[in-house]
Amino acid sequence: MCGIVAYLGKKEAFPIIINGLKRLEYRGYDSTGIAILNNELKVFKKAGKVSDLEAYASPLDTIGNIGIGHTRWATHGKPNDTNAHPHKSGNSRLALVHNGIIENYKYLKSALKELGHHFDSETDTEVLVHLIEELQKRDDLSLEDAVREALTRVVGAYAIVVIDKDNPTKIVAARKDSPLVIGIGNEEYYLASDATPLIEYTKKMIYLNEEEIAVVELGKPIEVKSIDNIIQSPTIQEVDMNIEELEKGGYDYFMMKEIHQQPATVADCMRGRINAEEGWVHLGGVNQYEGKFTNASRIIMAACGTSWHSALIGEYLFEELARIPVEVEYASELRYRNPVLTENDVVIAISQSGETADTLSALRLAKERGALTYGIVNVVGSSIARLTDAGSYIHAGPEIGVASTKAFTGQVTLLTLMALKLAKLRNTISEDYYRQLLFELKVIPKKISQVLSQNEAHIKYIANEIKDKTNALYLGRGYNFPVALEGALKLKEISYIHAEGYPAAEMKHGPIALIDENMPVFVIATNKSAYEKIISNIQEVKARKGYVIAIVIEGEKTISEIADHVIEIPDTVEPLVPLLSVIPLQLLSYYIAILRGCNVDQPRNLAKSVTVE
What residues line the site for ligand AGP (CB under 6 A)?
A: 304-307, 351-353, 356, 359, 402-404, 493, 606, 609-610
Least distance to ligand AGP, CB of residue 454, Å: 25
DSSP letters along 363-376, please? HHHHHHTT-EEEEE
Least distance to ligand AGP, CB of residue 307, Å: 4
Least distance to ligand AGP, CB of residue 260, Å: 17
Least distance to ligand AGP, CB of residue 244, Å: 22
Burial of 364 (0-12, 13-18, 19+ CB in 10 A): middle
Q: Are 398 and 353 in contact (CB under 8 A)?
A: no
Q: Looking at this protein, which amino acid is placed at residue 100?
A: G
E-assigned strand segments in 468-612: 471-476, 498-503, 520-524, 547-553, 565-569
Contacts of 208 (CB under 8 A, 6+ apart): 159, 173, 174, 175, 179, 180, 181, 182, 214, 224, 234
Burial of 540 (0-12, 13-18, 19+ CB in 10 A): middle
Please, which contacts does 505-512 make with residues 24 or more away whose CB atoms are closer than 8 Å? 505/477, 505/533, 505/537, 507/473, 507/475, 507/537, 507/540, 507/541, 508/540, 511/473, 512/540, 512/541, 512/544
- Output 454 or 599, the one with its CB closest to ligand AGP: 599
Least distance to ligand AGP, CB of residue 374, Å: 15
Given the residues 2, 269, 304, 598, the one annotated as active site: 2
- Give the span between the Cα atoms of 359 and 356, in whole angstroms: 5
- Output 206 or 488, the one with its CB closest to ligand AGP: 488
- Output 89 or 261, the one with its CB closest to ligand AGP: 261
Please indicate whether residue 292 is annotated as part of the active site.
no
Q: Are 154 and 102 in contact (CB under 8 A)?
A: yes
Contacts of 112 (CB under 8 A, 6+ apart): 127, 130, 131, 134
Least distance to ligand AGP, CB of residue 311, Å: 10
Least distance to ligand AGP, CB of residue 613, Å: 12
Q: At what angle do helices 406-426 and 578-595 cross, to 10 degrees?
A: 170
Q: Which residue is nearest to ligand AGP (CB)?
A: 305
Burial of 187 (0-12, 13-18, 19+ CB in 10 A): exposed
Angle at 319 between CA 317 and CA 321, to 5 degrees: 60
- Output 123 or 602, the one with its CB closest to ligand AGP: 602
- Output 94 or 313, the one with its CB closest to ligand AGP: 313
Return the number of other C-beta atoms located less than 10 Å from residue 229's C-beta.
12
- Output 87 or 257, the one with its CB closest to ligand AGP: 257
- Output 125 or 306, the one with its CB closest to ligand AGP: 306
Q: How far is CA 59 from CA 14, 170, 381, 437, in A?
A: 12, 27, 38, 60
What sign does the dihedral 72-74-79-84 (CA atoms) show? Answer: negative
Least distance to ligand AGP, CB of residue 303, Å: 6
Q: Are 403 and 493 in contact (CB under 8 A)?
A: yes
Please indicate whether residue 598 is annotated as part of the active site.
no
- Output 178 or 353, the one with its CB closest to ligand AGP: 353
**Active site residue ranges:** 2, 608
